[in-house]
Amino acid sequence: MAEIVTVEEHVSGEAGPALAGVVGAIAEAARQIERRIRVAGLHDVYGAYGATNVQGEQQQKLDVFANDVMKAALVGLPQVAAIVSEEDDAPVVFERAGGEEPMFVAVFDPLDGSSNIDVNVNVGTIFGVHQVGTEGVQATFLHRGLRQVAAGYVVYGPSTVMVVTTGTGVSAFTLNEDGVFVRSGEAMTMPDKGPYYSTNEANVASWPVVYREYLARLVGEGLDGQRYSARYIGSLVADFHRTLLKGGVFLYPPTEKAPKGKLRLLYEANPLAMIAEQAGGAAVNGPERILGLTPEHIHQRTALILGSRCEVEALQTAVLEWRA
Ligand code: AHM
Ligand code: MG
């Protein structure tokens, strides 16, 4: 029988117990979120909560539940100095004594894919972890994605799977019958090129022309003779998870409604970009590498093109030529 390795044991082996404690707490929160989602129809947890978050979006009851669970899991850890959540206007900074131990900031989107929450379609949790440096906690919020010491996501679906990197490859953990995330994949790699593009095509008319031409190329002549098929769920985690396993490209370009892009740099784009790169893929905002961007504020939005190396590089090259 295969050896059973939990996500916390795995991360501890890769990056030490302090970081493993943070990832383990997120796994525990995900276990609780999964339990609530699994029986959501039996309880009064579907629908709107009645408030809007700082992004002006209506919060769903499950958004609020997931945010509370994530915060409760992390607040108790002495090595977590602060958290940044999509659902909270400002970072929450904890009073910590400090000392020799490493300290971390966790950034997360507690429940991503709000339009799919009420309809029994995949949703997810996305997280990144930064280590607090000598420059202090406040500066850590605006670290570039390159400085993440861990990143990952949980996709709640037919199976609930947590995908994690600490900078030495990508591993997957499947939630078992006992509520434990057990390692089910190691050294995961994304195909260099894949069969699918994943995007909200209803926005095409309001994309910059270079993105329209790129999409027309994927469905027309294709790349290197391979033409593409479409897959779009509308939950970033699920669309990315498929892209990681099967290859291809996810794109959320700038639109008229969201000229800087819709997705958030800190807790959506950066964690998935780190996973993509660690698996041999790539992530850009058009011209630039996502992980190299310096955030100006915690809820900053970005265009996001993410997936197999071949498709992402083709897009980046086209954008750079178009701008030249
Ligand atoms: P959310 O954080 O409010 O859930 O929004 C993010 C979601 C992503 O999961 C998904 O990629 C995107 O929004 C879908 O947007 P659209 O409905 O415009 O296609
Ligand atoms: Mg989100």
| pLDDT tens, position by position, 193-209 | 999 999 999 999 999 99
Question: In angstroms, rounded to a whole number, what is the distance separating the alpha carbons of residues 24 and 17?
Answer: 10
Strand partners, 304: 252
pLDDT in tens, 98-140: 676 789 999 999 999 988 988 999 999 999 999 998 899 999 9
Of the residues 108, 115, 301, which should be mutated to test ligand 1's pocket, given the most ligand atoms within 8 Å of the CB? Answer: 115
Position in ligand 1 atom list of the atom nearest CA 237: 9
Residue boundaries of the structural domains of the chain: 7-185, 196-323
Residue ranges lining ligand 1, Cβ < 6 Å? 57, 86, 109, 112-115, 200, 234-236, 262
Query: With contact defined as beta carbons under 8 Å apart, do 257 and 228 qualify?
Result: no
Which ligand is in closest contact with the Cα of 268?
A: 2
pTM to 2 decimal places: 0.95
Residues 6+ apart with CB under 8 A from 146: 291, 292
* Biggest distance spanned by C-alpha atoms of the chain: 60
Please say whether the structural domain 196-323 has been given the CATH code 3.40.190.80: yes
Question: In angstroms, rounded to a whole number, what is the distance separating the alpha carbons of residues 198 and 230?
Answer: 6
| Nearest protein Cα to ligand 1, atom 7 | 113
pLDDT in tens, 139-149: 999 999 999 99
Number of Cβ atoms within 10 Å of the Cβ of 174: 15
SS3 228: coil
Q: In what order do the strands lie in the sheet with 80-85?
A: 92-93, 80-85, 104-112, 123-131, 148-156, 161-165, 170-175, 181-185
Looking at residue 324, its pLDDT comes to 87
Query: With contact defined as beta carbons under 8 Å apart, do 290 and 302 qualify?
Result: yes
Question: In angstroms, rounded to a whole number, what is the distance separating the alpha carbons of residues 236 and 219?
Answer: 22
pLDDT band, residue 95 (cuts 50/70/90): confident
Distance 233 CA to ligand 1 centre (A): 9
Position in ligand 1 atom list of the atom nearest CA 202: 19
pLDDT band, residue 187 (cuts 50/70/90): very high
Ordered DSSP codes for 27-52? HHHHHHHHHHHHTGGGTT--SEEEEE
Of the residues 242, 249, 263, 300, which should be mutated to test ligand 1's pocket, given the most ligand atoms within 8 Å of the CB? Answer: 263
Number of Cβ atoms within 10 Å of the Cβ of 306: 29
Position in ligand 1 atom list of the atom nearest CA 111: 4
Q: Which residue has the higher pLDDT, 47 or 276?
A: 276
Q: What is the CATH number of domain 7-185?
A: 3.30.540.10
